[in-house]
Amino acid sequence: MRTKIAAANWKMNLNFQQAKDLLDQILASHVHPGPGKKAVFAVPSPFLRIAAKKMKSQDNHHVCAQNIHHKKSGAYTGEVSAEMVRSVGAEYVIIGHSERREYFQETNAMLAEKINLALESGLTPIFCCGEPLQIREAGEQDAFVKKQIEEGLFNLNAMDMMKIVIAYEPIWAIGTGKTATSLQAQEMHKGIRSVLAAKYGNEIADSVSILYGGSVKASNANELFSQPDVDGGLVGGASLNADEFVAIINALQ
Ligand code: PEP
């Protein structure tokens, strides 16, 4: 059975008080992800510690960093390392979000380094992949995403591959209100699983959780999560609203 995950990505939003209030509202709803299900909160770095404290006594709630630097430590003013975020309670880290790839020129080679550092520090990477609109319109999304996965992940051995979570996030659906249809999501997730199977075998491919991201909301989560290869969601905008995100956690199947 693959782990089902609802992951919130708050991006660069909220101040400290607002962050605490949002976490308190979510916890006050007494949402209990059951066995095999997880609620994951990718909060901005300054809020990791308080989020970890609040989640400590909550079963199946985990804290996630939104990024780490691709070097272990050193003279990289303003950057945050894998070890730093782990030491303040993060258990997951998003690697290669399309906003990082686009605005911070993160390459697949850098992302592969980040993945290694994350695993070394005991963090579970959520590796993001997904095509821009012009690639989708040209019908080249399968090859595009395959290359991201090969270059970002395929230096991992089988044991480490089993520790990865993948998030398929078509860029044209992120923050646009345009969601991939559940069939488009299922098709891509199935394709990603077959890319993994060709390299690592069926057993490992079947064990990796693949999340869908791109305008997931309470109103479409059930339909998306009902697809056999969709193991939950990475959720931006809707995760900033407690009721919406609680409904998305409850939609995990
Ligand atoms: C995201 O930030 O990964 C995302 C999918 O954003 P949104 O849900 O707002 O499209």
Residue 30's pLDDT is what?
Answer: 87
The 8-class DSSP code of residue 171 comes to G
Does the model's pTM come out above 0.95? yes
Ligand 1 neighbourhood includes 98 CB (under 6 angstroms): no
How far apart (Å, rounded) are the C-alpha atoms in residues 2 and 248? 18
Ligand 1 neighbourhood includes 234 CB (under 6 angstroms): yes
Ligand 1 neighbourhood includes 213 CB (under 6 angstroms): yes
Ligand 1 neighbourhood includes 44 CB (under 6 angstroms): no
Residue 113's pLDDT is what?
Answer: 98
Q: Is 169 an active-site residue?
A: yes
**DSSP per residue over 97-140, as a string?**
-HHHHHHS---HHHHHHHHHHHHHTTPEEEEEE---HHHHHTT-
Burial class of 39 by CB neighbour count within 10 A (0 to 12, 13 to 18, 19+): buried
CATH of domain 4-250: 3.20.20.70
pLDDT in tens, the chain (253 residues): 899 999 999 999 999 999 999 999 999 998 889 899 999 999 999 999 999 999 998 999 999 999 999 999 999 999 999 999 999 999 999 999 999 999 999 999 999 999 999 999 999 999 999 999 999 999 999 999 999 999 999 999 999 999 999 999 999 998 888 888 999 999 999 999 999 999 999 999 999 999 999 999 999 999 999 999 999 999 999 999 999 999 999 999 8
b/e 102-115 (16+ beta carbons within 10 angstroms → b) = eeeebebebbbbbb
The number of the ligand 1 atom at minimal distance from the alpha carbon of 167 is 3
Nearest residue (by CA) to ligand 1, atom 6, is 236
Q: How far is the CA of 201 from the centre of ligand 1 (A)?
A: 30
Q: How many CB atoms lie within 10 A of CB 12?
A: 7
Q: Is 97 an active-site residue?
A: yes
- Domain map of the chain by residue range? 4-250
Ligand 1 neighbourhood includes 214 CB (under 6 angstroms): yes
Q: How far is the CA of 79 from the centre of ligand 1 (A)?
A: 23
Residue 114's pLDDT is what?
Answer: 98
